[in-house]
Amino acid sequence: MSGDNQPLPIRQSTTMTDEAVPDIDPATTAGLLAERLQAWKHAVGYLEDYVGAVEKVHKAHSKEYEKVLKTISHPLKEGAHFDQGLGGVAGFFENMRVNTQAMINSNAETEKTLKGSVLPILERLHKEIKAKHKEVTHGAEKGAKEIEKARNTTQKHIELLGQHTAAFESTGGKMTPNDDPYVIQRGVLHRLNKQVIEENNHRNDLINIQDGFKAFEAHVIQTVQSAIDGLNQVAGGQAEKTRVLYTDMLGAAQKIPPDFEWNGFLNRDGHRLVDPNEAPRSVEQLVFPNQNHNATKALIEGSLERKSRNKLSWGTQSGYYVVTPSKYLHEFKDDDNLRHDPKPELSIYLPDSVIGAPSGEKFHLKGKDKSKSFSSKLAGTSELHFQAHSAAEAQKWYDAIRVAAGATGAAYESQPSSANNSVSEAKKPSLNTAAATAAGKEQEAGITGGDTVTSPTEISPSVTRQGTLKAGSSADEKKTATGA
């Protein structure tokens, strides 16, 4: 058959430069633009969150500054020490209270202004972007659906054309009018035209959207700039106001003269302060009860040399000795009452002691140390050997010790009053009688030695810190010798 020698039909490729049904997604451009709007919406959302956070910060600052104000809300403790007028410390703290209250109000006003003026700008812009996004996505979806529908129709006719062109070769051209490839081919062109129209319309819509994006984004930028300008005016203005308030505090502090408070204090309480022009106190000028009581006046006092009680020691050592109305012979290191507390190194109770008659500048005394010191516990009763500066001075010490040992009261005064000499003479014990008794009972009176020497008729030496006695009358200083 002739038909067996004919070649098999083949599909003819289109002669169009572009594919009739492109593979690209028509929603790609629209999707990109929609995604860009989404990015703008999120950016504006960030700004909303930022301004909202700043608003909350100022609200919190207002409450925190209330705590700050509370720290200085109470009056100053011991406030009477400060001048209550302006220009001083009290005025400075009042300035701090006023300025801190202004900071509280400023932060509260800033919070309200941000919430009522700046945030609404960004909220409206957010809604505009959201509406634009909806417009783009809905318009693009509608155009894409129309294009997809037209392309599907065109694709069906192209496939139909392929079927009938293949059948045309196999049937030898015997077809119905509707199956004629020519007619079908014209139908494909018709549908391609409708498809291209839909594609071009969609393209024009996208171009219009793209062109509108430039203006819309400019609007977005300008709106953001307006919001940030408002933020700067409100929050930045508040920050500047805070700086001014702190500067005012600094000025109030710097205006206080360095001597303002001290001068005011002197005016108010200067009479209670120490007068630098007054002479300093001295012990010699002080008076206290019983200061001049007879029991406090030494019968005789001064420096003497004493041989050490230690048998291994050589020579003598100087000390300050005092015979008191309490009938004690005290030994001190010196006559200084100021550097250290004067405590007796040695205390001999004279009525229980035995005194030997002086031999030139020397005399001795045997008794027990009652000072309760460590050395007194070791020594027990011991014999003390003294050496005065002169024989006359040794005699005075001997007389004073003898009177203290044999009398019941303070019979020997170191500084008698001349106006009461007659009275003193009447009250003094008779030393002659005591001496006579001492001659008969030597050990009982506590006197040892050769001749018994009575004290002067009037013993009134003036005792000095150097242990010397002022000379009395020559008659008072003579010895009265008794029979051996």
- Would you say residue 382 has pLDDT above 80? no
Local confidence band at 210 (pLDDT 50, 70, 90 cut-offs): confident
Over residues 337-358, the mean pLDDT reads: 90
- Greater model confidence, 18 or 80: 80
Q: Three-state SS string across the chain, please? A: CHHHHCCCCCCCCCCCCCCCCCCCCCHHHHHHHHHHHHHHHHHHHHHHHHHHHHHHHHHHHHHHHHHHHHCCCCCCCCHHHCCCCCCCHHHHHHHHHHHHHHHHHHHHHHHHHHHHHHHHHHHHHHHHHHHHHHHHHHHHHHHHHHHHHHHHHHHHHHHHHHHHHHHHHHHCCCCCHHHCHHHHHHHHHHHHHHHHHHHHHHHHHHHHHHHHHHHHHHHHHHHHHHHHHHHHHHHHHHHHHHHHHHHHHHHHHHCCCCCHHHHHHHHHHHHHCCCCCCCCCCHHHCCCCCCCCHHHCCCEEEEEEEECCCCCCCCEEEEEEEECCCCEEEEECCCCCCCCCCCCCEEEEHHHCEEECCECCEEEEEEEECCCCHHHHHHCEEEEEEECCCHHHHHHHHHHHHHHHHCCCCCCCCCCCHHHHHHHHHHCCCHHHHHHHHHHCCCCCCEECCCCECCCCCCCCCECCCCCECCCCCCCCCCCECCC
| pLDDT at site 230 | 95
| pLDDT at site 203 | 84
| pLDDT at site 183 | 85
| pLDDT at site 278 | 86
Local confidence band at 417 (pLDDT 50, 70, 90 cut-offs): very low
Mind listing the pLDDT tens digit for each residue in 27-48?
478 888 889 999 999 999 999 9
- Would you say residue 10 has pLDDT above 50? no
Over residues 10-33, the mean pLDDT reads: 54
Domains of the chain, CATH where assigned: 24-260 (1.20.1270.60), 293-416+424-448 (2.30.29.30)
Over residues 382-398, the mean pLDDT reads: 92
Local confidence band at 379 (pLDDT 50, 70, 90 cut-offs): low
- pTM to 2 decimal places: 0.54
- Would you say residue 474 has pLDDT above 60? no
Mind listing the pLDDT tens digit for each residue in 85-125?
788 999 999 999 999 999 999 999 999 999 999 999 999 99
| Pick from 125-134, 143-152, 232-241, 460-469: least confident | 460-469
Local confidence band at 476 (pLDDT 50, 70, 90 cut-offs): very low
| pLDDT at site 136 | 86
Q: Which residues of 366-399 are buried (b: 16+ CB within 10 A; e: fewer)?
A: bbebebeeeebeeeeebebbbbbeeeebbbbbbb
| pLDDT at site 18 | 54
- Would you say residue 256 has pLDDT above 70? yes
| Pick from 9-18, 186-195, 266-275, 383-392: least confident | 9-18
- Would you say residue 195 has pLDDT above 90? no
Local confidence band at 173 (pLDDT 50, 70, 90 cut-offs): low
Over residues 352-365, the mean pLDDT reads: 91
